[in-house]
Amino acid sequence: GNSLVEIAGEKAGILKKGVPAYTVPQPEVAMSVLKQRASELGVSIRIVPPLDPRQLEDQPLGLHGEHQYMNAGLAVALANTWLERQGHLDRIHVKDHGTLPDQFIKGLSIACLQGRAQIVPDLQVSSECKDTSCPLVFYLDGAHSPESMEICAKWFSHVTKKDAAQPGPLEQRRSGINSKKILLFNCMSVRDPQILLPRLLDTCAQKGLCFDQALFVPNQSQYNKLGSHASPPPGREQIDLSWQLSLQTVWEDLLRGKKGLNGTSSSGASLVFESLPSAIKWLRETSQQNQSTSCQVLVTGSLHLVGDVLRLIKT
């Protein structure tokens, strides 16, 4: 869908007659669509509030981001309803002091979703570390809408500040270490980079974070139509980087409008690579050549890009 109303209409397709329905607080235009569809089916729709962090007994959510407390509240409501309908509530020990059952707390604390607020140290650069103290760390989030881009920016700003405040063993051994923030970006051509990139840049700036460099790459994955006229993936000589160059132009224009990045001019602040493997190779070489700097790479803009990066750095 191209609007909240259209998207809500598609999402409302999951509602079924006779089946309890739950949602979280929504913009009014979206909520009215959900309520209308629920009314047509004779279904009562319950709006679930965000989970109160105190219910977790000081355990953090496995999924990062403030918005995940909203998702966690919804998950708890769904789990409770399913257990009740299946007659299994007696297996869950419900405490009296407002916290969740131990099974719920454990599930929420170990929950993970690849490609969403995921942190992956590059062990090829240094096999000695397995956390954010590595000299090259990828922060992956498949955000591809203005709203999710803002959430991604807040998450990246928060976790990189947290990492700086709590250095790992490797950083403690390397005095005077600096961190370099790098953006690795691509988005589908149906997305508007003139909306996505400003939202990312502005939100990071509000949190006191500036990118030192931006890299624009094509996705590695290829998707082709089936049929007699299907064509093979383009060869090396057929690579079209016009979209990546347009992304770079948007980025550079934004930097010029903000008088440069990190107090420097915008020249040299971004690069376009003809392939994702070449960008990963450049990042690894850059990290290895400059031992006094740790590279923190935010990968975002496309779930396809995030998946491609995960495949490359984990092989």
In a domain, 234, yes or no: no
Helices marked H in 125-192 — which ranges? 146-165, 169-173
In a domain, 225, yes or no: no
What is the 3-state secondary structure of 54-97?
A: HHHCCCCCCCCCCCHHHHHHHHHHHHHHHHHHHCCHHHCCCCCC
Same structural domain, 178 and 271: yes
pTM of structure: 0.78
The CATH number of whichever domain residue 66 belongs to comes to 3.40.1190.10
Q: Which amino acid is at 237?
A: E
Same structural domain, 125 and 267: yes
In a domain, 229, yes or no: no
- Could you list the residue range(s) of the whole structural domain that residue 268 is in? 118-220+241-313
Same structural domain, 260 and 304: yes
Same structural domain, 135 and 81: no
In a domain, 226, yes or no: no
Give yes or no for a contact between 254 and 261, defined as CB atoms under 8 angstroms apart. no
Residue at a domain's end among 84, 110, 136: 110
Same structural domain, 275 and 304: yes
Same structural domain, 68 and 130: no
Residue 8 buriedness (CB in 10 A; 0-12 / 13-18 / 19+) = buried
Same structural domain, 126 and 92: no
Residue at a domain's end among 60, 75, 110: 110
Same structural domain, 203 and 100: no
pLDDT score recorded for residue 264: 43
Same structural domain, 61 and 94: yes
Nearest alpha-carbon partner for 115 in 137, 135, 136, 143: 143
CB atoms < 10 A from the CB of 235, how many?
7
pLDDT score recorded for residue 259: 60
Question: At 177, phi and psi to the nearest 5?
Answer: -75, 140
Residue at a domain's end among 93, 110, 127: 110
In a domain, 236, yes or no: no
In a domain, 170, yes or no: yes
The CATH number of whichever domain residue 129 belongs to comes to 3.90.190.20
Element (H, E) at 31: helix 28-41
Same structural domain, 103 and 247: no
Long-range contacts formed by 73-82: CB under 8 A, 24+ apart: 73/24, 73/48, 73/49, 74/22, 74/23, 74/24, 74/48, 75/108, 76/48, 76/51, 76/100, 76/104, 76/108, 77/22, 77/46, 77/48, 78/22, 79/104, 81/20, 81/22
Same structural domain, 42 and 164: no
Per-residue pLDDT of the chain (315 residues; tens, 9 = 90+): 678 899 999 999 999 999 999 999 999 999 999 999 999 999 999 999 999 998 998 899 988 878 899 999 999 999 999 998 888 877 776 665 677 888 999 999 999 888 988 999 998 876 556 555 688 999 999 999 998 999 999 999 999 986 665 554 443 433 446 889 999 999 999 899 999 999 999 999 999 999 999 999 998 765 444 444 444 455 555 688 999 999 999 999 998 886 644 544 334 589 999 999 999 999 999 988 887 888 999 999 999 999 999 999 986
In a domain, 235, yes or no: no
In a domain, 232, yes or no: no
Total structural domains in the chain? 2
Same structural domain, 303 and 267: yes
